[in-house]
Structure 1
């Protein structure tokens, strides 16, 4: 009886339908699992978004913290260079176009008679005189002036004196080597499989000091002879990193390095000092005195693994060296493909060398332009550090010595050859990359050892 009553009550709650009409069952709630999936999926998406936001926030905080740290390659706008005892020697400052120079110092390169004529015309120049040095090899005089702030520009000097003065003068700019810091993977270093030539060769270079206490660079008669001179104040700490690396490519006797010139007499002019722990600099004044000394030595080729701004005084000295028949080989620079030309590589007649990797791909930081003459391997090259470790190093500074070695080999084998004749021989030996002909990336192509004497 109870079951019949319950059934009747249930049926009474249903809507009335006519016979034959299909009844739609009532809506049932979704399964519990589906109900749980919806909020769970949304929760996961929200969690992922929060994690992404948190990661981005942490990255911003880390980048902000890094931005406050000093970049070892970015020198301060004003920096005092000190002696070993902490006394100031000179002050580096940032000048036009982001280049650096010795504060308010200007150089004049001229004959002694021309300097006396300037003094007679403008006696007040004597009040700015800091130093006057003879350059005996080139029979010129180098004058260093310290001008007041009001005259510390080319336009101000021209207005105060004459535009004629600018023919002889330029800032005492700073120049830097073009080498990337060593990495810590010596097994990855590229090693040349051959020397450029095996006959006696003489070569000059302007660089840092060389650590000759290293066994691999010990002077050895018939293999490596070194004639070195330093053009920096004695009270200034010596810098060894860059010069040691370049010298090791040329002459080191180490199982990991094949010397480019196994019978080398190297004339090394040390003109670079340490601006900080990783950056070396050379003032134009010291470069000029170093180059004048090299011009007096029995050599025909000078390697310049350094770059800096165009300067009328440097341009004049380069012309004087070229007039004496010297071949100048310079690093093109590590400013990147869009960088402006750097000097002395971009001066006419100077052989500008860029760098490529062992697989012949261009060095990513190398300068490019119409002034590029040749390329050489200069990426992850096995070279000595100042403490004697062999580590891979990169830069157009490491490529320039390869071409310098080739030029020196030719000029030693056939001393009657002129600079232009040697240049033509290099063009014949160069391994052209890409489209035929000279291009702004690798110039006429890559120079590789050994020297091809049968051309």
Structure 2
């Protein structure tokens, strides 16, 4: 594992601070919520002193620390502004207020929970995954973090999780004319996307998994336009936001994965990030066992943030982003593993009004990788070998923690 100081120095070589530090000033609207930086609150960034490293590296280090502070402020603002719908779990991560999700609980332990004041909201089987989830309402006088601890004592053999929220990993900046698309490789293999809803004519099938869904929004529309620009002709889109203030929650994403799996989708792209969650981890594992490849963004919380999920779950293809000069985005987050980089800045997509937008973020690198995987599978190839053969080695020779196994879709520019 490399130190943060090493990461800061490497970032200087890969991405000059002046060119990449500023995040876009016009974030895409997704739901009625702000678009926060996600993950459990962490302590001070380690490696704050960079002995022997030039001032440019110190500037990068300050920006990395600034991203971490921004993340904490965003979480606090989100919780403050949405008290009726959202609260922090015991890790400090945002979740749906007053509800816990339970796996592997029998009737005896559920009755014990009921005696302790918990109420069963529903006991659901997620289609396509053979997975049962019980939703419990927390006692009125009990905060979510406390309720997790209490319930864990009552049912020690069960898996208990808050219904954690996940957020988009990219923004649109300004409208812009786009260059002609290059790097498109047509395939009619269906690709699934879990996001906000794109406009209906951009996808083959569209289903909602949240209150008010499907509700077209810019982020999902941009992701769908990138899939289309990459040659994907069949897109199944799941909207996990709609108008729900607690949209993007783990249960909605798990249900969306179930629908896509049941429909025969073998490649799913997820440009969302959140904390580790037992329910979502189980859903992804079940889908993978059925042959589904999950591709996910590492997020834009910066390298000082905790590992992003779902990119960090076992077997998920974790994707980071570079700009048009093949420099790593300084705000790119990290995962417990990293597979590939793809263009995530100086590219273009369409918003919900069909207008071209300049895009930035690991959100937009992710569908490009998913499209490459779908094409390889359609051609009967081992997709890992196909991507490795295409990947341009950047940074340190061989696989590394900044670019993974290399840059794919290097010529991709996005929507026309």
Kept in 1: contact 2:117–2:138 (CA 8 A): no
Shift of 1:396: 0.5
CA distance in 2, matches of 1:71, 1:134: 31
Label 1:233 to 1:185 Cα distance change in 2 as closer, same or farther (>3 A): closer
- What secondary structure, in the 3-state scheme, does the structure 1 residue paired with 2:78 have? coil
Shift of 1:122: 5.2
Structure label with greater radius of gyration: 1
Q: Give the aligned length.
A: 338
Shift of 1:271: 0.7
- What secondary structure, in the 3-state scheme, does the structure 1 residue paired with 2:366 have? helix
Label 1:340 to 1:190 Cα distance change in 2 as closer, same or farther (>3 A): farther
CA distance in 1, matches of 2:90, 2:114: 28
Gaps of 5+ in 2: 1-32, 37-73
Kept in 2: contact 1:79–1:93 (CA 8 A): no
RCO higher in structure (CA 8 A, sep ≥6): 2
1:249 alignment partner in structure 2? 226
Shift of 1:126: 8.7
1:3-42 equivalent positions in 2, closer than 5 A: none
Shift of 1:382: 0.7
Label 1:434 to 1:369 Cα distance change in 2 as closer, same or farther (>3 A): same
1:383 alignment partner in structure 2? 349
Shift of 1:226: 0.7
2:208 alignment partner in structure 1? 230
CA distance in 2, matches of 1:335, 1:177: 11
2:288 alignment partner in structure 1? 322
Shift of 1:350: 0.3
2:278 to 309, 312, 315: 312
Shift of 1:173: 0.5
- What secondary structure, in the 3-state scheme, does the structure 2 residue paired with 1:288 have? helix
Kept in 2: contact 1:177–1:281 (CA 8 A): no
2:191 alignment partner in structure 1? 203
> TM-score by structure 2 length?
0.74
Deviations 1:93-117 (A, max 9, x none): 234454211112111234xxx5435
CA distance in 1, matches of 2:35, 2:308: 21
CA RMSD of aligned residues (A): 2.7
2:131 alignment partner in structure 1? 140
1:63 alignment partner in structure 2? none
The answer to whether the aligner puts 1:183 opposite 2:176 as a matched pair is no
CA distance in 2, matches of 1:76, 1:348: 29
Label 1:360 to 1:191 Cα distance change in 2 as closer, same or farther (>3 A): farther
- What secondary structure, in the 3-state scheme, does the structure 1 residue paired with 2:357 have? strand
CA distance in 1, matches of 2:302, 2:279: 26
Deviations 1:364-395 (A, max 9, x none): 21013551110000113111111111010111
Shift of 1:207: 1.0
The answer to whether the aligner puts 1:102 opposite 2:92 as a matched pair is no
> TM-score by structure 1 length?
0.68
Shift of 1:200: 1.9
